[in-house]
């Protein structure tokens, strides 16, 4: 006798609320994934845009504090001091007043050549600048002639015409003519000179403004490393030098390190 087949029991259908819950969780996970990708993309785009608008500079500080550059700086400081001592010995009639120094390493940003290209940077350069100020008695024409003759006898040839022109000018017309500036060169050095009458020193500052180290605080962007900064205050000069004396300034600059173009990395 044949046994009739047992009826197949169908699997229970999911409860509608469970199906909706699973579907909601899946949508939530997908939405969170899309949000994460979108936020990440926006953050990457923003960082890229910020780097293009304000690109990070090279690590000048690390390079400037490396052993070879520090050694080069120490050698440069000794050379500048030796030359300054020589110049001061050439001008024994000038009374010392004050001295300042600025020593920095920096790289300059180069504008991108085309839209969408990354900005590049110049190789890092390190420069030491020393300024020394003294005072002397007038009259100015005789003092300028003496100064010029002394520098030329020492092998420093005038580079430029500012002092030579003023040597033949009538200095009695106006106090605005009571200044001179110019460069003297030999085989190794350029000595920048300025002469001016206190108390405002306007002509010397306008004629050669970087001879007097700025008294404003130095900005310190990532692309600049300041090793030494001892500024000369204008008040130091005007307090110690009064008319009819004059102020003479001597500036010496020496570049002691320049990074090779191939080693200058672009951000």
Q: What SS3 string covers 79-148? A: HHHHHHHHHHHHCCCCEEEEEEEEEEEECCEECCCCCCCCCEECCCEEEEEEEEEEEECCCHHHHHHHHH
Q: How far apart are CA 65 and CA 51, in angstroms?
A: 25
Confidence of residue 65 (pLDDT cuts 50, 70, 90): very high
Question: Model confidence over 11-26: pLDDT tens digits?
Answer: 555 555 555 555 656 5
Judged against a pLDDT cut of 50, whether residue 110 lies above it is answered with yes
Peptide bond into 242 cis (omega under 30): no
Average pLDDT over residues 84-108: 92
Q: How far apart are CA 52 and CA 3, in angstroms?
A: 84
Confidence of residue 267 (pLDDT cuts 50, 70, 90): very low
Q: What is the dihedral of CA 147, 151, 154, 159, to 10 degrees?
A: -170
Reported as type and span, the H/E element at residue 254 is: strand 246-258
CB atoms within 10 A of CB 87: 20
Question: At a CB cut-off of 8 Å and minimum separation 6, what does 115 contact?
Answer: none
**Structure-token pair, residue 17:** 């609320």
Judged against a pLDDT cut of 50, whether residue 213 lies above it is answered with yes
Confidence of residue 233 (pLDDT cuts 50, 70, 90): confident
Evaluate whether 156 touches 136 at the Cβ level (below 8 Å): no
Q: How far apart are CA 132 and CA 243, in angstroms?
A: 19
């Amino acid at each position: 006798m044949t046994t009739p087949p047992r009826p197949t029991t169908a699997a229970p259908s999911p409860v509608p609320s469970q199906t909706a819950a699973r579907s909601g969780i899946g949508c939530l996970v997908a939405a969170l994934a899309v949000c994460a990708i979108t936020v990440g993309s926006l953050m990457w785009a923003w960082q890229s845009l910020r780097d293009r608008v304000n690109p990070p500079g090279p690590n000048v500080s690390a390079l400037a504090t490396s052993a070879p550059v520090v050694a080069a700086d120490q050698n440069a400081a000794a050379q500048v001091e030796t030359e300054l001592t020589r110049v001061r010995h050439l001008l024994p009639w000038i009374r010392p007043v004050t001295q300042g120094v600025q020593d920095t390493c920096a790289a300059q940003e180069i504008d991108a050549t085309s839209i969408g290209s990354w900005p590049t940077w110049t190789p890092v350069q390190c420069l030491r600048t020393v300024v020394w100020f003294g005072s002397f008695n007038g009259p100015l024409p005789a003092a300028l002639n003496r100064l010029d003759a002394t520098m030329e006898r020492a092998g420093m040839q005038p580079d430029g015409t500012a002092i030579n022109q003023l040597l033949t000018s009538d200095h009695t017309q106006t106090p605005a003519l009571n200044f001179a500036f110019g460069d003297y060169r030999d085989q190794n050095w350029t000595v920048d000179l300025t002469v001016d009458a206190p108390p405002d020193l306007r002509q010397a500052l306008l004629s050669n403004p970087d001879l007097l180290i700025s008294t404003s605080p130095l900005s310190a962007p990532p692309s600049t490393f300041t090793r030494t900064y001892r500024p000369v205050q204008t008040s130091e000069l005007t307090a110690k030098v009064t008319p009819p004396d004059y102020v003479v300034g001597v500036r010496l600059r020496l570049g002691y390190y320049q990074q090779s173009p191939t080693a200058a990395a672009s951000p």
